[in-house]
Structure 1
């Protein structure tokens, strides 16, 4: 058996602050509106993918989080087909470097997330971004990859870049102009901090794909939002990011999250992604901001109950105390705050009174502290490969 060619890469999760909800073309995953996201740091949230190619592999195979999955999934096939097509094109254009790459060889793919999948934490975005980026490295494909990642999962195109990223909806029917662009790199706003409040790591009751389809078919608000609200919101959000204007960034983020969930309610039958814990977090944020008479904290919720909180570094310790006050953690020895360390702070009694909400014990299982981070990258250390030298998964830990 010949030694397989093995490459390992990692890719980040992104959180949309101007949401994507609804497609105008299901097959190519073309959105009905543009969107904007913040890429989260890979030290806290990432997908790792290893791809191996070998003459001796009989068929394409894929293992996700420890178990073999169906490689014939149409979206997986789109990404594989597109990368192989571009690699063949480069070779036919006379790129001699590609002669050593077996374009006809089958691939083995192994991928793991370091966070719960299908819990509203954008696992498919990180997963498909990582898959496309790794395949591109294996097959020597360069250039615009976000269009390919988009065909795996819409929001995956935004995970192809770090920092602040817009997904331009595009106008063409073939989707060639529906792609992601970096607005600013992760180094642009170092004071920005992000907390993920994990309300539940369970699977969502309604998946994003089917939820979107129903919304597109039945929601009038969805059409109004795409046509009359989002274009202006995108301009204002990009300006807020560039100027590091936190109050403007925070307000647009909250209003857009609220409108997205209003669209879910306007869907028929309605879709409920927010839980009583989510609603409690929303009340906490608004009461906290009201107490200070300024917008210090903002929330956004994707298609799930987990809150993503944006704030500036100086306000983080106190707000986290407010979260712990309202959602007393279980004392079962598990760490309540994971990720980047946060300084301790004392919650003023007047602030406790101003919050005035009932406590909900066990409402939040843990808090993940993170910040904006870089886009996909290659892992240089061969010890980090998820596939062994035989091209099969190493023992899953």
Structure 2
């Protein structure tokens, strides 16, 4: 999964309506454990009311998995509150609980590289996530999120997918004939740290996903003119070097997620700044992991040959594969006061 909160993965995020069923589930389980005589259970919290406070430090409902991060954090927090960690020996069960709030949240229960297993049961209980490799597996891999729009997308992921399931023939073909084989190839590419194979699979899969959006009736348009410009830029950049150094992917939104290796980050960030000139008096353009500046070859600018789109990219999030949900130890980062009430915001 992506390190959704950039260089501070501990920040709780949640954007979809709070799934009270998650809290009720864990509270019910904790009561049962107490009634069964579980001496290791801290039952003091069973009578407490619960405040759920959520803050994002990346755009909400803009196709950057904000709901996935939020529900993964919600499940992990509830698990800690009711001291039930030892009850769940298999993390996959927790991913199934998170999936009920947001499908992609099942993957966010793990760190690193994660697959979402389709499952065969009608009730979906075997549709769980499984970690392929931990976040330490491929330390050179970097992720750059190019934020083209922080606005809420006009068609939500859930409603859009429901419409696609009902109307897109391509989606059925993709799920049955393409995705299973592509997943096997992707896992192999990740394990071998084969960036060229990883990148090609990533871009082809992104393209096909958005093809299913166009095949939906009425069609769904998540990509913008800025998104299309990024796609062209990536292919021309790779062509200039005669090798695949970059890969793009777009979820249900216009914002690009770029995969590359650490040594290529400084130059590509300069490429982004050149072809998408930011506000001269605006805020910080690069957020997250620091990026060193570098000179941009004139030959590269000419080879890409695109007309600059001023302010097309608002800012770039520089990050890498990160861990799953983490408990906040620093009280200055807490979202609640010591009495349990949310902190006041200006």
| TM-score of the superposed pair, with normalisation by structure 2 | 0.93
- Cα distance in structure 2, aligned partners of 1:132 and 1:302: 23
Partner deviation per Cα, 1:281-322 (whole Å, 9 max, x = no partner) = 000000011111111100000111000000001111111121
Q: Given that residues 240 and 246 in structure 1 are in contact (C-alpha distance below 8 angstroms), is that contact kept between their aligned partners in structure 2?
A: yes
Aligned with 1:83: secondary structure?
helix
| TM-score of the superposed pair, with normalisation by structure 1 | 0.81
- Residue 209 (structure 1) aligned with residue 158 (structure 2): yes
- Cα distance in structure 1, aligned partners of 2:66 and 2:189: 27
- Cα distance in structure 2, aligned partners of 1:201 and 1:316: 23
Residue in 2 that maps onto 1:24: none
- Cα distance in structure 2, aligned partners of 1:240 and 1:317: 24
Partner deviation per Cα, 1:334-388 (whole Å, 9 max, x = no partner) = 2211111112222222211110111111111111111111111111234433222
Partner deviation per Cα, 1:114-169 (whole Å, 9 max, x = no partner) = 22211222110111111110011011222231111111101111111111111111
Note the 1:205-284 alignment, pairs <5 A.
205-284=154-233
- Cα distance in structure 1, aligned partners of 2:315 and 2:333: 27
Residue in 2 that maps onto 1:58: none
Q: Given that residues 157 and 167 in structure 1 are in contact (C-alpha distance below 8 angstroms), is that contact kept between their aligned partners in structure 2?
A: yes
Residue in 1 that maps onto 2:258: 309
Inter-CA distance 127–84: structure 2 relative to 1 (3 Å threshold): same
Residue in 2 that maps onto 1:137: 80
Q: Given that residues 5 and 58 in structure 2 are in contact (C-alpha distance below 8 angstroms), is that contact kept between their aligned partners in structure 1?
A: no
Uncovered stretches (5+) of structure 1, i.e. residues with no partner: 1-13, 15-37, 50-63
- Residue 146 (structure 1) aligned with residue 95 (structure 2): yes
Q: Which of 12, 20, 34 lines up with 1:48 in the alignment?
A: 12
Residue in 1 that maps onto 2:279: 330
Residue in 1 that maps onto 2:124: 175
Residue in 2 that maps onto 1:111: 54
- Cα distance in structure 1, aligned partners of 2:35 and 2:183: 40
- Residue 357 (structure 1) aligned with residue 301 (structure 2): no
Q: What is the Cα deviation at residue 264 of structure 1?
A: 0.2
Inter-CA distance 46–209: structure 2 relative to 1 (3 Å threshold): farther
Q: Which of 103, 109, 116 lines up with 1:160 in the alignment?
A: 109
Flag the structure with higher strand content.
Answer: 1
- Cα distance in structure 2, aligned partners of 1:111 and 1:287: 40
Inter-CA distance 317–264: structure 2 relative to 1 (3 Å threshold): same
Inter-CA distance 331–268: structure 2 relative to 1 (3 Å threshold): same
Q: What is the Cα deviation at residue 91 of structure 1?
A: 2.8
Q: Given that residues 146 and 315 in structure 2 are in contact (C-alpha distance below 8 angstroms), is that contact kept between their aligned partners in structure 1?
A: yes
Inter-CA distance 339–382: structure 2 relative to 1 (3 Å threshold): closer
Inter-CA distance 381–328: structure 2 relative to 1 (3 Å threshold): closer
Q: What is the Cα deviation at residue 238 of structure 1?
A: 0.5
Residue in 2 that maps onto 1:125: 68
- Cα distance in structure 2, aligned partners of 1:82 and 1:141: 11
Residue in 2 that maps onto 1:9: none
